[in-house]
Structure 1
Amino acid sequence: MRRIGLCISLLVTVFVMSACESEDEAQTFADRDQETVKHTTVKPMSNKNKQDFQTLPNDMQLAIVFSSMIRVSEAFDYGIGNPEYFVRSSMTEGEADIAKENLESIQFENKQLKKQNNEAVALLQKTHNQEMSHNEMQQLKENRTAFFEVTESMIKLISQVTPKNAKKTRQQLDQLKKQYTQYSAESVKIMNSIVKKQGADKASFERHLETMLQKQPGQPMLSELY
């Protein structure tokens, strides 16, 4: 199985190194079992486990928000990347069916992932120093909107692939994959800029973020909800 876009290790490296310079790395595919896709969606915490988000230090707030967004991106990396890998310029009916079957999990999770992303955007507006990164926050919101538009286009193409339109579908996916990777890389750059603009403790933020991303898929990432 294959995936597209930015893997989690690259995303963490971007934050830690404050750079995202290698397009080749951003486009690197990695193996992953398809079963993992079913467990990548972040699940909200129950009411009894909620903590007032605004009482947390800024570095923790940003780590919570951005770990959730990264988890969303990871889910799409696998959910679209696996079926996209099976689309060829020449395909049999059976091969087209395999691509569509591999798409089912992300189709099922698509709505929840969008909700999760919107929750993260809303929480970002509640961070202590949000007024210091107003422009970057707007950029991130627009970037995520564009990201979802690309994912929807890719899902639609793969869901409609047939032996007859396989060549055209492959060409269109190649173009969309470039946009997908671009938006993924840009979102990480903007996140990093927000951390800097808000004056968060960078070392502490990185520790919190890495800890959250190391949690097993399916465990709550938005551990404090508004």
Structure 2
Amino acid sequence: MRRIGLCISLLVTVLAMSACESETQTFADRDQKTVKQTAAKPMSNKKKQDFRTLPSDMQLAIVFSSMMRVSEVFDYGIGNPEYFVRSSMTEEEADIAKENLESIQFENKQLKKQNSEAFALLQKTRNQEMSRNEMQQLKENRAAFFEVTERMIKLISRVTPKNANKTRQQLDQLKKQYTQYSAESVKIMNSIVKKQKVDKASFERHLEALLQKQPGQPVLSELN
């Protein structure tokens, strides 16, 4: 399945999240496994590194790669709501949709925590005063993003053969908002990089390296 969310080059080119036509058969095979592998692992016992001592480009790369990982999990978990819910469904199909939703429901709390930890680090970045307005915009954007994901999860978890058509229509509308908030978050991140006068080339190298690490490898847990 083609990824529909925030990829390695996400802060370089704003991606159009147009995966409505994704191959849902492949998605069905990968869904739960991918979500579990991509989610953050528990805190490690490694000696923590002081975030404030890192170069500005590395600071932002760490923060934004973490947020992007969170979005990526949601992309795999509920980003294709048309896979979960169709206009007409049997009881068995509705039950399967709920079962396939279990992984993202299980990870939801941890994903919100990871996003909050990333934002807390953003407030510690060396040049954060230069991007105060943009940081507030990003905070509001991420809150709106999570509100939409909550609504999508709730709708899918309550789907039945009787309400399938209505649920699908509601999910179609929510997916538009989901996509909009994801794209806006990328633009705001780009703006923060510019406002903080970070070396863009160096930032992009750090970002790519972090996102190429195996899913689940801790980053925030190694910092304080």
Specify the alignment match of 2:200 in structure 1: 202
Q: Is the 8 A contact 2:130 2:195 kept in 1?
A: yes
Aligned twin of 2:18: 27
Q: Which runs of 5+ in 1 are unaligned?
A: none
Q: Deviations over 1:65-123 (max 9, x none)?
A: 00000000001111113564131000001111111111000000000000000000100
Q: Which residue number corresponds to residue 141 of structure 1? A: 139
The residue correspondences of 1:1-226 to structure 2 (distance < 5 A) are: 5-8=4-7, 12-17=8-13, 20=14, 25-29=16-20, 30=22, 31-32=26-27, 33-34=30-31, 35-43=33-41, 45-81=43-79, 84-222=82-220, 224-226=222-224
* Contact 2:5-2:72 at 8 Å conserved across structures: yes
Structure 2, gaps ≥5 residues long? none
* TM-score normalised according to structure 2 size: 0.91
Q: CA RMSD in A?
A: 1.8
Contact 1:54–1:126 (Cα < 8 Å) also in 2: yes
Q: Distance in 1 between matches of 2:80 and 2:187?
A: 25
CA distance in structure 2 between the partners assigned to 1:127 and 1:184 by the alignment: 22
Q: Which amino acid aligns with 1:170?
A: R
How far, CA to CA, are the matches of 1:165 and 1:222 in structure 2?
Answer: 41
**Contact 1:53/1:224 (CA < 8 Å) preserved in 2?**
no
| Sequence identity percentage | 79
Structure 1 residues 152 and 123: CA distance shift in structure 2, 3 A = same
How many residues of Structure 1 are paired with residues of Structure 2 in the alignment?
217
**1:98/1:7 Cα in 2 relative to 1: closer, same or farther (>3 Å)?**
farther
